[in-house]
Amino acid sequence: MQLYVIRRLLWGLTAVFGVATLVFVLIRVVPGDVASLTLGDQATPEAIQALRDELGLNKPMYEQYFTWMTHLVQGDLGVSLRAKDPVVGELLKRWPVTFELAFISLIIAVAIGLPVGAIAAMKQDKPFDHVVRVIAILGIGIPEFWLGTLVIIFLALTFKYSAPLGYVSFFENPWNNLQQFIIPALVLASHQMGSIARISRAQMLEVVRQDYVRTARAKGLLERSVITGHALKNALIPVVTIVGLQLGRLLGGTVIMETIFSLPGIGRLTTEAIFQRDYAQLQANILFFAFFFVLINIGVDLLYGVLDPRIRYR
């Protein structure tokens, strides 16, 4: 087990290194210059050139890359080109917002998608099953940014409702905190609910036709015991895979939701870094997302062994 985890971590770090390299190159070939954006339209070419020299942007790309990787290996993610502060400080300040949004969205998606998909499988080809399948397809197909914008307009025009501005910690004011997060979390969870419901339904339909389920029913066990004790647990392994991947997608989806709903998390910070060409901050944010995506995938693999004791790692 330990050897397996070490191998996965090494492969994961290799993937993070590849992501870091790709991001470093791509954000420097995109049109736009942080020096021009920082100084404004009235800046002279001499002032822009001086700022570029100060930030090291006039050096060849390979020198910039070598310098950045040297600092990265030492645990230094750099200094924001715009704010002139360490990027780690901004990440630590904003990560609670992003993780709360992703966590609430995941809880909503699993709490609704898993049982709804299982029930739809038990009621195959009945009205409930048809409704679930249609809603699941809509949830997967509707873009989250469009749905989020539509929800904001609908609530504002119909109920004159707008979420509180600014971030309030759950421990300071739980009610205001939930008001800020519940609507964007529901919107962000819409795609995940559809995916989880569909895969849950498909797996339950496959599992309930297995011989051991028919044997359990033939022994006279209650239908609830057959479903929860035999069928559902064995149907969960593909669902766990989807949930793990969706958690990584949720972290990426916070970029859009935080921007639309004005939540000051890492997602919104990433959007601001893109428009302001803040290379150091953008690189740190993407590395942050990539690193946690790798950890999530390793955690999902290890969870397989808990759900199915036959699975062994070498």
Amino acid occupying residue 173: N
Domain extents in the chain: 87-307
CA 200 vs CA 237, 266, 291: distances in Å: 10, 31, 28
pLDDT in tens, 157-210: 888 777 666 777 888 888 888 888 888 889 988 888 888 888 888 888 887 777
Residue by residue, DSSP assigns 164-189 as: PSS---TTT-HHHHHHHHHHHHHHHH
CA 254 vs CA 77, 108, 152, 198, 233: distances in Å: 22, 15, 16, 23, 30
CA 101 vs CA 35, 95, 127, 241, 297: distances in Å: 33, 10, 33, 21, 20
Is the per-residue pLDDT at 313 higher than 60? Answer: no
pLDDT in tens, 119-170: 888 888 888 989 999 998 888 888 888 888 888 888 888 887 776 667 778 8
pLDDT value of residue 310: 59
pLDDT in tens, 287-311: 888 888 887 777 777 766 665 655 5
Please give the angle made by the CA atoms of 99, 105 and 109, to the nearest 5 degrees: 145
Angle between helices 279-307 and 2-29 (to 10 degrees): 150
Percent of the chain scored above 70 by pLDDT? 84
pLDDT value of residue 224: 67
Tokens of 57: 């942007």
Return the closest-CA partner of residue 37 out of 251, 214, 272, 239.
Answer: 272
Three-class SS of residue 28?
Answer: helix
Tokens of 96: 């609670």
Residues in the chain: 314
87-307 CATH pick, 1.10.357.10, 2.60.120.200, 3.30.450.40, 1.10.3720.10 = 1.10.3720.10
Tokens 């004790």 belong to residue: 229
CA 55 vs CA 68, 83, 173: distances in Å: 12, 12, 41
